[in-house]
Amino acid sequence: MGLGPPEKMATAPPLAGGMGEGNMEYTVRKARVTDAGQIYALLRELSQEGLLLPRSYLNIYEMLQTFYVAEASDKGEEGILGAAALQVAWEDLAEVRSLAVRTRFRGHGIGRALTLAVERDAGGLLIKRMFALTFVPGFFTKLGYKVVPLESLPQKIWTACFNCVHYPDCKEIAVEKPL
């Protein structure tokens, strides 16, 4: 068995979709390797706005299989509109991580659809609770999350906090939701 060129694979059907304001249609699907550059650019843009923590290119590739992306169904609008990742933190706990929507596409339900896709994936893994560390807790409370003290999360979460450029002056708020 040789190592020839990879075979072309059929694209899986979208996991979710929606129609936002102005009849903009989009689909949510698992990320592909070809999406990594756009995910990186999106996360970098939002980190410069102070809405997300920065992620390296290496981190995007390491976590690529955990990402979902939203893309416009309209061929006139190219590229990734939003992204989110699932990070399993403990046997019963997972994080909605790196949730980002391009500025001009916010308010179309894309963030909600991405969050629900991540939650659905976590449910399939028998995760019982979801959490997020966010600068925008109001978004998550509309989806049933409750603000909780950061200290209520397991110590494993703190490893990421200790390595963060914003530690110990973090302004993120912890939110949690049972599945």
Q: What percent of the chain has pLDDT over 70?
A: 75
CATH assignment at residue 136: 3.40.630.30
How many separate domains does the chain show?
A: 1
105 in a structural domain: yes
7 in a structural domain: no
User: Residue ranges of the alpha helices (H) in 52-152?
Assistant: 57-63, 110-124, 137-141
- In one-letter notation, the amino acid at residue 25 is E
Domain with 67 in it:
16-178
pLDDT (0 to 100) of residue 77: 64
What is the tens place of the pLDDT at every residue in 80-92?
999 999 999 988 9
10 in a structural domain: no
pLDDT (0 to 100) of residue 74: 72
pLDDT (0 to 100) of residue 169: 62
In angstroms, the CA 150 to CA 172 distance is: 9
Q: What's the predicted TM-score (pTM) here?
A: 0.82
4 in a structural domain: no
The model's confidence at residue 55, banded by pLDDT at 50, 70 and 90, is confident
11 in a structural domain: no
135 in a structural domain: yes
The contacts of residue 83 (CB under 8 Å, 6+ apart) are 31, 35, 39, 42, 43, 67, 68, 69, 70, 98, 99, 100, 114
- State yes or no: pLDDT of 50 exceeds 90: no
Mean of pLDDT values over 150-167 = 64
Specify burial of residue 17 (Cβ count, 10 A radius: 0-12, 13-18, 19+). middle
pLDDT (0 to 100) of residue 25: 85
- State yes or no: pLDDT of 12 exceeds 50: no
Tokens of 176: 């949690």
85 in a structural domain: yes
Q: Which of 47-56, 99-108, 113-122 has the lowest mean pLDDT?
A: 47-56
Mean of pLDDT values over 29-44 = 96
pLDDT (0 to 100) of residue 159: 59
8 in a structural domain: no
